[in-house]
Each structure stands twice: as structure tokens, then as C-alpha cells.
């Protein structure tokens, strides 16, 4: 089995569009949630909150030929991947286009505006909005294929459109592709764009926060007085590389991935099952060959929904059997759906490098129904640990767990 390391990272997030900038913004202890005016035109929409990416700019060298098959989600994914490859020192390297590099990437869906174009055609019985790039923009694998096309990769292509685990699943499958010797380099991650229809889905499930006049007070993962999630958007790319290949070219190494676990609940399409959620964590630990005691911090999925928070905390305690330190990045960025697994993995690695772990915002009174874990709140925590875990869970009962280690 090959060792797998992270040699490049980049993101576009509500916290910012550079890794260092986003990391620094964690310690301002202020979330990125705002009252999103785009929601005001929709009747019966209860929430008015969102966490958009405000400073993403399409690169000037992305001409029309490049962007004609890209909606916002593919644009963010491809631009962020370009920055990650630069960070890894691999942009333009032969390894990217000679078949040794693959892409494992996902989003909850394609661009919603293009999907609406097809719907408009059906309603009006007129081909008016659809063009040659419409399907490519809307298809669930739009991020994966646009990244592959732009960088001319010829290796494995693994679309991971698994809702909120799209990013973490993309990283996990990329890790396995290198670990088992199928690829030398993998472009891994996930993305999603903000759209009113995404928000409406959760709003109809009564899962969205209604603190429309106090956006700074929500979401509040694990808090007794939380009232739901807030949707965000973004993209995150990690460049994974076989350890020997990275060492040979003297690449900087952010971390090593030593474990990945994934499982499905097989019980309910939206309600989480803490026992099968825990099995993903157990599988990641088994893959890493370590005990739970060796992990010093857990990055929680932490959506600020009642069922999700409680089930996740119980699953975590079932595996760790102790009050392991834990916090949720979603209290800053909102729930970025397909991007969250990648953005949170990147920030978890940064926290591990700096031995400084961000608190969960708006956590004042821990829900008594949540398991007894060490919930980081108030201020950042100094923790000297070599190993961290990052967990994500999705509709469909899809569970993932990633374990990173200092090199």
C-alpha cells in the first residue's frame, strides 16, 4: 500500500478565497451569515439567511470557450483547482496529463439555473434557453468533467455527487486510488453554488434557521437553543500525491491521509442513524490502524439541526468513549453542501499545523440530549496533537470519516 499526502490546497468559501485568509478569519469569531436579499421575492420562504461567497472572481484567462460548459459551481471548482495545483507546484507538470493523475470531485447537483432552463422549455414547449452547454452545466458530474477537461487529465474520473459528503467522498476515493497504486496524483474535493431552490428544500423540511434579523447568532451547532441550519456555498480542492513521488520532487507536504471510512444507514432517507454513522468512524480508524485515543480533535459535521447534532454526538461518543475535543466549521460558513467536506478538511489540516482549533460559534448551552464530548466554544483551543479526524454525513444515510496526520 502506498502512502498518500496532501501537497496542495485551495478554496473559495464564505470565509474567503485563500486558505490562509479563511484560516485567519476563523479567529475573528464572526460568522459569514447574512440576510440574503435574493430570497425576499419568494413567497412562503421562511428563512432569509445564507452565507454566499462574496469575493470569488472568475479568472481573466477563463475565456468563453472555457466557460461555456461551466455554471458557477464548475467555475469555482476549476478556478480553485488551478490554485491548488499551483500551490502543489504541479500546474503544467507532465504528471497531470500523462494518465498518472485522476479527478475525484463532486457536488450535490449541477448548476440550478441550467436545470431551470430545461424546465422552462418543458413548460413553454419552446426551445428558448437551452444551448450546447446547458446539459454539461446541469449534470451532476459537471465539476469533475470540467476540471478534467481544463487540465487535460487522462486518469481515473470519479464523480462523487453524494450531497453533503460529496467533498469528503471525493477525498476518500482519491486517497484509495493512490493508496492502491492506481494513480500517482489525484485532484480531490467538492463544491456547490448557492441557489434559492437549495434553500427551499431545507426550508420545507423545517430545517432552516429563522433568525432572519440576527444572522450573527446562527447557526448554533450542538446548542440547546439552535433553530436550524443556514446554507452557504463554495469549493475546496486538495491535491493528493503518492508520498514517494512528493518526496522525490521535494514538494511541501501539509499532511498525510491515513484513514478513510464510509458507510450507509440503510434506514431512512433524511433521518440519521447514530449506530451506522459511527461505523464510518470505526472503519476510518481501522484503515488508519490506530486507536481513538490517538486522535486529538474531531471536526464535526455539525449542521445545527436537532436530529443531526444529537445523532452525530452519540456516534462520536460511541467510538471514542471519552470527551474528545470537537467543533463545527459550519458555525462560520453555514452548510456549504457538497463543498463542506473539502473546505472543512482543508481548515482541519491548517488547524493541526498550527495546533490551534477554532471554537463552535453561538454555542452557549450544550443540548442535554447530545453526548458528553469536549465541545470547544468561546475561544480557540491550543491542542498539541499529530492526528485529527473530519466527519461528514449526508441525505441518503451516507457517512464519511477522514483521518489526517502530521508528517
Nearest by Cα to 385 from 374, 377, 393: 374
What proportion of the chain, given as a percentage, has pLDDT over 90? 94
What pLDDT score does 354 carry? 98
Average pLDDT, the chain: 96
Under the banding of pLDDT at 50, 70 and 90, the label for residue 112 is confident
Task: Give the start-to-end residue ranges of the domains of the chain.
Answer: 4-248, 261-405
Topology agreement, domain 4-248 and domain 261-405: yes
Q: Please check the confidence at residue 121 and state whether its pLDDT lies above 80.
A: no
User: Which residues are known catalytic residues?
Assistant: 164, 301, 335
Under the banding of pLDDT at 50, 70 and 90, the label for residue 124 is confident
Q: Please check the confidence at residue 132 and state whether its pLDDT lies above 80.
A: no
Nearest by Cα to 159 from 260, 44, 255, 73: 73
Nearest by Cα to 257 from 186, 191, 192, 321: 186
Picking from 11-15, 110-114, 218-222, which range would have the lowest pLDDT averaged per residue?
110-114
Q: Please check the confidence at residue 206 and state whether its pLDDT lies above 80.
A: yes
> Do residues 367 and 137 lie in contact, with contact meaning Cβ atoms separated by under 8 Å?
no
What pLDDT score does 126 carry? 74
Distance CA 197, CA 93 (A): 40
What pLDDT score does 141 carry? 96
Distance CA 246, CA 27 (A): 31
pTM as predicted: 0.97
| Digit-coded pLDDT (tens) for 186-199 | 999 999 999 999 99
What pLDDT score does 66 carry? 94
Written as nine digits, the cell of 114 is 441550467
What pLDDT score does 395 carry? 95
Exposed e or buried b for every residue in 176-201, given b needs 16+ CB within 10 A? bbbbeeebbbbbbbbbbbbbbebbbe
Under the banding of pLDDT at 50, 70 and 90, the label for residue 116 is confident
Return the bridge partners of 255, or none. 6
Q: Please check the confidence at residue 130 and state whether its pLDDT lies above 90.
A: no
* CA-to-CA separations, 80 to 57, 90, 126, 162, 264, in angstroms, rounded: 11, 14, 36, 20, 30
Mean pLDDT for the stretch of residues 130-154: 92
For domain 4-248, give its CATH number from 3.50.50.60, 3.30.1490.100, 3.30.1360.10, 3.40.47.10.
3.40.47.10
What pLDDT score does 135 carry? 86
| Digit-coded pLDDT (tens) for 245-300 | 999 999 999 999 999 999 999 999 999 999 999 999 999 999 999 999 999 999 99
Residue pointed to by grid coordinates 452519540: 314
Residues 6+ apart with CB under 8 A from 191: 12, 73, 74, 76, 77, 80, 105, 106, 107, 143, 166, 167, 234, 235, 236, 338, 339, 342
Under the banding of pLDDT at 50, 70 and 90, the label for residue 127 is confident
Q: Return the CATH fold of 261-405.
A: Peroxisomal Thiolase; Chain A, domain 1 (3.40.47)
| Digit-coded pLDDT (tens) for 312-343 | 999 999 999 999 999 999 999 999 999 999 99
Under the banding of pLDDT at 50, 70 and 90, the label for residue 202 is very high
Written as nine digits, the cell of 380 is 480557540
Amino acid at each position: 500500500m502506498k502512502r498518500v499526502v496532501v501537497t496542495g490546497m485551495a478554496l473559495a468559501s464564505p470565509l474567503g478565497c485563500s486558505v490562509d485568509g479563511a484560516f485567519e478569519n476563523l479567529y475573528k469569531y464572526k460568522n459569514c451569515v447574512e440576510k440574503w436579499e435574493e430570497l425576499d421575492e419568494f413567497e412562503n420562504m421562511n428563512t432569509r439567511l445564507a452565507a454566499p461567497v462574496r469575493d470569488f472572481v472568475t479568472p481573466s484567462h477563463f475565456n468563453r470557450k472555457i466557460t461555456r460548459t461551466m455554471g458557477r459551481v464548475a467555475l469555482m471548482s476549476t478556478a480553485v483547482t488551478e490554485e491548488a495545483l499551483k500551490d502543489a507546484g504541479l500546474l503544467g507538470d507532465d504528471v497531470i496529463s500523462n494518465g498518472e493523475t485522476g479527478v475525484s470531485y463532486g457536488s450535490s447537483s449541477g448548476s440550478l439555473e441550467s436545470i431551470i432552463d430545461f424546465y422552462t422549455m418543458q413548460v413553454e414547449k419552446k426551445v428558448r434557453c437551452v444551448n450546447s452547454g446547458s446539459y454539461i452545466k446541469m449534470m451532476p458530474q459537471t465539476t469533475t468533467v470540467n476540471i478534467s477537461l481544463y487540465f487535460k487529465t487522462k486518469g481515473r474520473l470519479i464523480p462523487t455527487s453524494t450531497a453533503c459528503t460529496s467533498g469528503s467522498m471525493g477525498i476518500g476515493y482519491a486517497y484509495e486510488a493512490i493508496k492502491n497504486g492506481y494513480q500517482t496524483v489525484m485532484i480531490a474535493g467538492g463544491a456547490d453554488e448557492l441557489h434559492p431552490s437549495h434553500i427551499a428544500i431545507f426550508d420545507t423540511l423545517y430545517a432552516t434557521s429563522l433568525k432572519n434579523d440576527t444572522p450573527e447568532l446562527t447557526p448554533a451547532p450542538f446548542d440547546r437553543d439552535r433553530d436550524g441550519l443556514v446554507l452557504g456555498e463554495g469549493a475546496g480542492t486538495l491535491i493528493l500525491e503518492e508520498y514517494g513521488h512528493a518526496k522525490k520532487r521535494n514538494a511541501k507536504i501539509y499532511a498525510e491521509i491515513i484513514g478513510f471510512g464510509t458507510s450507509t444507514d440503510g434506514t431512512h432517507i433524511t433521518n440519521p442513524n447514530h449506530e451506522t454513522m459511527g461505523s464510518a468512524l470505526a472503519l476510518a480508524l481501522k484503515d488508519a490502524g490506530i486507536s481513538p485515543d490517538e486522535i486529538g480533535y474531531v471536526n464535526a459535521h455539525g449542521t445545527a439541526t436537532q436530529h443531526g447534532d444529537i445523532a452525530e454526538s452519540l456516534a462520536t461518543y460511541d467510538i471514542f468513549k471519552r470527551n474528545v475535543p470537537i467543533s463545527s466549521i459550519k458555525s462560520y460558513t453555514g452548510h456549504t453542501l457538497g463543498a463542506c467536506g473539502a473546505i472543512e478538511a482543508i481548515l482541519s489540516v491548517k488547524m493541526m499545523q498550527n495546533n490551534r482549533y477554532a471554537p463552535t460559534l453561538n454555542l452557549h448551552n450544550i443540548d442535554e440530549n447530545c453526548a458528553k464530548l469536549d465541545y470547544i466554544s468561546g475561544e480557540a483551543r491550543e491542542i498539541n496533537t499529530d492526528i485529527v479526524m473530519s466527519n461528514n454525513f449526508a441525505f441518503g444515510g451516507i457517512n464519511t470519516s477522514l483521518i489526517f496526520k502530521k508528517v
